[in-house]
């Protein structure tokens, strides 16, 4: 049946009715939601937007504060200093931004109800503009070591842990749970899953954020997560195109170069992005990396038309939203000034400009580029249509607001938490078990000392890793003591740990990114010398196992979030089977050209 396309007035009337529903609780009927009619109405909507509104729709910006209209004074001061506005509502009013990104450090994510209220406040600001438009609110909720929304929301294993589990169903369910909880608080675009293939163990920025080193295995899990997120009503974002897995430089602080040939790129880096596109991915994030084989100009991929238009759009056939990685990162700022970066990104084929360091410079640069003819208004319209089409597909025009009841019904439910625990158990990997020392019994090894690194916790976890591990042992009936020795334990801390080990039945050491010169190696060696059995848990990179010797057993947890550490303790105590298998190879410390433990290695108790 043919339906007449809704007019701009009709579309905005439906949106205004949704605004009233946020107050009254009245359900607004869905009208004119067919994709073809929505597309035509969005095209007419764009034709009526001012140039300033069009420029604003391209930007996704950070803003400080827990409230859209009444943030704390310190957040007002930060907003004035960095953005030139007082509040999130002022940001929307002044710059007409199409999206806002939430960060923990910007005080956007204190608790689920606060996040929901902030999201509603931002949407009210968007719908109060001359051209009322909902915003696309986003965040980086990868889980594992990158997490912006914390407890009481459900925390789930990160990518490499899921890679160790190897289960598409678990990866899909993790994304579905994460997506449902994000949508409940008004976050409708998530910058996950990571599609980078971590083929470089020295990668300082990706590492355990990747599903692993095998392109096809990564591709399978990426597509599973894309489907999970998008079934939950959240736009998934695969990143970082064309592939950030083989870098030795962190693009936050420098400009990495990938030396893969075009053939190597097609074999190693491309498969997860192809898989994401085949799964219907809503958005893809660019990388601030140089790939000379793909673009000999040595522009970062974010600013490369050969990479973003030639490869991503034309060769891979992708017509969804392309979002930059943060424009405040050094990798994209090394070659061009902050006024040129957003213009060049749009010319390359980008749609969304994420988090520029100075919004006024970036916004005015795009505006001026259109006025000068360097960018056409038609080019802006292409990106705006993709952005609005995504907002329409997510239902934001029909239902921009969330409710307190929806938060209570969805976030951190018993079912979600129980499923997270089961998924985590399937990821824990037993790498070493000399003499079948594990599992330990509280009868024979009931007095446990937990020592080790306590890195800053991802958002919302309950405590430092040593405390979390000790608490988990205690809950299983063990007597456990926690002693934080730090990432770089001093001689005094090592002596304190050795003294504390006296009389214990077992010592559990949480290791973190151990290297050749790390004093964590000395800590483990001194504890082994006491004669008390030592068990190590790699709480981030599984490569730690190559650098320590003498321990009776080693587990890989892939993150120090509570859900993964609790699962590791259940495995240690025999309450769960170790089912994880290495998704990356671990090279020998004395000869990195030789493999100590291959992909697929993992011991079991059976």
Would you state the structure tokens that stand for residue 199, as one six-digit string? Answer: 């083929």
Question: Could you tell me which of 422, 397, 288, 365 has the C-alpha nearest to residue 95?
Answer: 365
* Pair 516, 547: CB distance under 8 Å: yes
Spatial separation of the C-alpha atoms in residues 597 and 588, rounded to whole Å? 8
Q: With left for phi above 0 and alpha for psi between -120 and 50, is residue 503 left, alpha or beta?
A: left
Phi and psi at residue 474, to the nearest 5°: -60, -40
Handedness of CA 99, 101, 107, 113 (dihedral sign): positive
Spatial separation of the C-alpha atoms in residues 104 and 131, rounded to whole Å? 30
Q: What is the DSSP letter of 376?
A: -
* Pair 477, 467: CB distance under 8 Å: no
Spatial separation of the C-alpha atoms in residues 105 and 173, rounded to whole Å? 28
The CA distances from residue 307 to 7, 277, 290, 436, in Å, are 37, 16, 10, 51
Strand partners, 452: 484, 510
Spatial separation of the C-alpha atoms in residues 529 and 208, rounded to whole Å? 31
* Pair 571, 437: CB distance under 8 Å: no
User: What Rg value do the Cα atoms of the chain yield, rounded?
Assistant: 25
Using DSSP, state whether 537 is helix, strand or coil.
strand
Q: How many CA atoms lie within 13 A of 584 on its CB side?
A: 32
Spatial separation of the C-alpha atoms in residues 579 and 604, rounded to whole Å? 7
Q: Does the N-terminal peptide bond of residue 242 adopt cis geometry, omega within 30 degrees of 0?
A: yes
The catalytic residue positions are 252, 325
Spatial separation of the C-alpha atoms in residues 183 and 394, rounded to whole Å? 10
Spatial separation of the C-alpha atoms in residues 111 and 76, rounded to whole Å? 20
- Pairing relationship of beta strands 353-354 and 283-286 according to DSSP bridges: unpaired
* Pair 521, 548: CB distance under 8 Å: yes
328 CB burial (10 A radius; 0-12, 13-18, 19+): middle
The CA distances from residue 421 to 139, 163, 371, 424, 564, in Å, are 24, 16, 55, 5, 8
* Pair 149, 101: CB distance under 8 Å: no
Question: Could you tell me which of 486, 488, 447, 495 has the C-alpha nearest to residue 464?
Answer: 486
Spatial separation of the C-alpha atoms in residues 24 and 403, rounded to whole Å? 11
Spatial separation of the C-alpha atoms in residues 603 and 606, rounded to whole Å? 9
Beta carbons within 8 Å of 555's beta carbon, 6+ residues apart: 428, 429, 430, 431, 535, 536, 537, 538, 568, 571, 572, 578
The CA distances from residue 549 to 292, 462, 521, 601, in Å, are 41, 31, 8, 18
Phi and psi at residue 175, to the nearest 5°: -70, -40
């Amino acid at each position: 049946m043919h339906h007449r396309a809704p007019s701009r007035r009709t579309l905005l009337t439906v949106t205004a009715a949704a605004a009233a529903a946020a107050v009254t609780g009245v359900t607004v009927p869905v009208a004119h939601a067919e994709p073809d009619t929505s597309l035509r109405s969005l095209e007419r909507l764009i034709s009526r937007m001012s140039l300033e509104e069009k420029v604003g729709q391209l930007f996704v910006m950070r803003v400080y504060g827990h409230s859209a209209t009444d943030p704390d004074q310190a957040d007002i001061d930060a907003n004035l200093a960095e953005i030139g506005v007082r509040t999130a509502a002022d940001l929307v009013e002044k710059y007409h931004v199409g999206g806002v990104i939430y960060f923990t450090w910007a005080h956007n994510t204190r608790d689920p109800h606060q996040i929901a209220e902030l999201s509603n406040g931002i949407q009210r600001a968007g719908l109060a503009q001359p051209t009322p438009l909902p915003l696309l609110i986003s965040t980086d909720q990868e889980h594992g070591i990158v997490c912006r929304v914390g407890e009481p929301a459900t925390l789930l294993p990160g990518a490499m842990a899921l890679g160790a589990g190897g289960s598409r169903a678990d990866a899909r369910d993790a994304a579905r749970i994460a997506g449902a909880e994000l949508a409940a608080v008004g976050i409708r675009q998530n910058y996950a899953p990571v599609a980078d293939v971590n083929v470089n163990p020295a990668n300082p920025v990706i590492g355990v954020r990747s599903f692993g080193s095998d392109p096809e295995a990564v591709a399978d899990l990426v597509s599973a997560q894309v489907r999970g997120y998008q079934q939950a009503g959240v736009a998934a974002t695969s990143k970082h195109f064309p592939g950030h897995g083989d870098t030795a430089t962190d693009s936050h602080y420098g400009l990495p170069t990938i030396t893969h040939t075009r053939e190597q790129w097609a074999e190693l880096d491309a498969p997860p992005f192809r898989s994401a596109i085949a799964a219907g991915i809503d958005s893809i994030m660019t990388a601030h990396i140089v790939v000379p084989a793909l673009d000999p100009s040595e522009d970062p991929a974010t600013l490369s038309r050969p990479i973003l238009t030639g490869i991503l759009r034309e060769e891979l056939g992708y017509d969804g939203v392309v979002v930059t990685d943060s424009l405040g990162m050094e990798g994209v700022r090394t070659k061009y000034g902050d006024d040129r970066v957003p213009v060049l990104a749009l010319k390359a084929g980008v749609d969304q400009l994420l988090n520029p360091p100075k919004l006024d410079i970036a916004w005015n640069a795009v505006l001026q580029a259109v006025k000068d003819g360097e960018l056409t208004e038609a080019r802006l319209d292409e990106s705006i249509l993709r952005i609005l089409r995504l907002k329409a597909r997510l239902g934001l025009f029909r239902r921009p607001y969330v409710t307190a009841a929806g938060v209570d019904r969805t976030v951190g439910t018993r079912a979600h938490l129980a499923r997270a625990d089961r998924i985590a158990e399937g990821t824990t990997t037993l790498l070493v078990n000399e003499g079948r020392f594990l599992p330990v019994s509280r009868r024979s090894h009931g007095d446990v000392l937990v020592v080790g690194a306590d890195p800053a916790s991802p958002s919302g976890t309950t405590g430092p890793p040593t405390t979390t591990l000790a608490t988990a042992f205690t809950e299983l009936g063990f007597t456990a003591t926690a002693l934080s020795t730090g990432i770089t334990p001093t001689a005094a801390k090592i002596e304190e740990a050795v003294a504390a080990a006296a009389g214990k039945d077992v010592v559990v050491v949480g290791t973190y990114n151990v290297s050749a010169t790390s004093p964590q190696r000395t800590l483990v060696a001194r504890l082994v010398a006491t004669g008390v059995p030592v068990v190590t848990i790699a709480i981030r990179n599984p490569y730690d196992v190559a650098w320590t010797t003498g321990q009776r057993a080693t587990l890989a947890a892939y993150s120090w979030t509570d859900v993964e550490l609790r699962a590791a303790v259940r495995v240690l105590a025999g309450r769960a089977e170790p089912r994880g298998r290495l998704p990356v190879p671990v090279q020998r410390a004395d000869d990195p050209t030789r493999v100590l433990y291959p992909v697929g290695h993992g011991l079991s108790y059976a």
